[in-house]
């Protein structure tokens, strides 16, 4: 049985959601963040030394990195669903966005979170961070103009990866700032598979 190691209020929600979209059976092992530090409990290191979520265990192997986990699940169990065929014109865009979510888009959002904790000491960095947030979220918002999903006409693994960015965008910048991203976040949250995942592993 596939096992997902899930941390509350975290990016690992993408993996339980992807599993629900695929209709695969899985077990969830849930960890709770420390209420003071917001960090994962040390027990998460028992499954992988980094102690980060998500971690997936399947067929005796342990996988980290949500983008790599989504790629693995779709290759193993997707039977062509939720990704373009490797020889399709949209495949390269799919791979690009699958990596882009964690490789680029999350960075300024995480910097805002961490530098914000420095108070006044972090002030010199705020303009650069805000500029990069506008740059990345503005680009993603424009990519969604006139379309429901980032690649082709239906949901792909790239949308699952970018879902967390869209959800944070609405939270950090307000629902009006990036309207296409907000509509995208609303669209994915309305999906029955997403709702099943949240009911199972917590929103
Ligand atoms: N790029 C990784 C990020 C993994 C990561 O940093 N996860 C966070 C949760 S969103 C975590 O485990 N934080 C707990 C901690 O750092 O103690 C992925 O997408 O899987």
Residues 53 and 142 in one domain: no
Domain shared by 29 and 70, yes or no: yes
Tell me, yes or no, whether 76 and 129 share the same domain. no
Residue reference for tokens 């096992």: 3
Measured in Å, residue 113 CA sits from the centre of ligand 1 at 14
Average pLDDT over residues 46-57: 98
| Pocket residues: Cβ below 6 A from ligand 1 | 7, 10-11, 39-40, 51-54, 65-66, 102
For residues 61 and 102, membership in a common domain is answered with: no
Cα angle: 23, vertex 187, 74; to 5 degrees: 35
Q: What is the pTM of this model?
A: 0.95
54 & 113 share domain: no
Cα 132 to ligand 1 centroid, rounded to whole Å: 21
| 66, 102 contact by CB (below 8 A) | yes
pLDDT band at 202 (very low <50, low <70, confident <90, very high): confident
CATH of the domain at 23: 3.40.30.10
CB 151 within 8 A of CB 85: no
Taking the CA of residue 52 as reference, the ligand 1 atom at the shortest distance is: 12
Predicted confidence (pLDDT) per residue in 95-134, tens digit:
999 999 999 999 999 999 999 999 999 999 999 999 999 9
CA–centroid distance, 121 to ligand 1, in Å, is 25
What are the residues facing 46 on neighbouring strands? none
Segment (H or E) for 183: helix 179-189
Best residue among 11, 71, 114 to mutate for probing ligand 1, ranked by most atoms within 8 Å of CB: 11
**Cα(157)–Cα(177) distance, rounded to whole angstroms?**
25
Q: Which residues contact 16 (CB under 8 A, 6 or more apart)?
A: 4, 6, 26, 28, 197, 200, 201
Task: At 41, list the tokens.
Answer: 């409990």
Q: Best of 13, 53, 72 to mutate for ligand 1, by most ligand atoms within 8 A of CB?
A: 53
Question: Do residues 54 and 104 both lie within one domain?
Answer: no
Average pLDDT estimate for 160-184: 94
Do 203 and 26 form a contact (C-beta atoms < 8 A)?
no
Q: Point out which residues pair with 3 in neighbouring strands.
A: 27, 57
Give pLDDT, residue 172: 87
How many domains would you assign to the chain? 2
Q: pLDDT for 85-103, tens place per residue?
A: 999 999 999 999 999 999 9
CA of 53 to the centre of ligand 1 (A): 5
Nearest alpha carbon to residue 105 among 71, 132, 82, 127 = 132
Q: Whose CA is nearest to atom 5 of ligand 1?
A: 52
CATH of the domain at 122: 1.20.1050.10
Whether residue 73 sits in one domain with residue 50: yes
Q: Do residues 51 and 131 both lie within one domain?
A: no
User: Do 109 and 76 sit in the same domain of this protein?
Assistant: no
Domain containing residue 28: 2-82+193-201
Same domain, 131 and 155: yes
Ligand 1 atom nearest the C-alpha of 54 is 20
Q: What is the residue with the minimal CA distance to atom 20 of ligand 1?
A: 65
Q: Are residues 33 and 114 in the same domain?
A: no
One domain, residues 78 and 95: no
Phi, psi values for residue 4, rounded to 5°: -110, 125
In order, the DSSP letters of 51-96 are --S-EEEETTEEEE-HHHHHHHHHHHH-TTTTS--TTSTTHHHHHH
- As given in the structure block, the two tokens for residue 17 are 């959601």
């Amino acid at each position: 049985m596939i096992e997902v190691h899930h941390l509350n209020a975290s990016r690992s929600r993408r993996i339980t959601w992807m599993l629900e979209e695929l209709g695969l059976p899985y077990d969830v092992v849930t960890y709770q963040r420390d209420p003071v530090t917001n960090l994962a409990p040390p027990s998460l290191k028992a499954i992988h030394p980094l102690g980060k979520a998500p971690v997936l265990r399947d067929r005796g192997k342990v996988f980290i990195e949500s983008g790599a986990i989504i790629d693995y699940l779709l290759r193993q169990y997707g039977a062509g669903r939720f990704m373009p065929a490797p020889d399709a014109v949209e495949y390269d865009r799919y791979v690009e966005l699958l990596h882009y979510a964690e490789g680029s888009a999350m960075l300024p959002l995480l910097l805002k979170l961490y530098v914000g904790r420095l108070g006044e000491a972090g002030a010199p960095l705020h303009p650069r961070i805000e500029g990069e947030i506008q740059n990345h979220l503005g680009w993603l918002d424009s990519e969604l103009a006139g379309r429901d999903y980032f690649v082709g006409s239906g949901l792909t693994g790239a949308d699952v990866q970018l879902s967390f960015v869209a959800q944070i965008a609405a939270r950090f910048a307000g629902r009006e700032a990036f309207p296409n991203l907000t509509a995208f976040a609303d669209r994915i949250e309305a999906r029955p598979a997403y709702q099943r995942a949240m009911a199972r592993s917590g929103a």
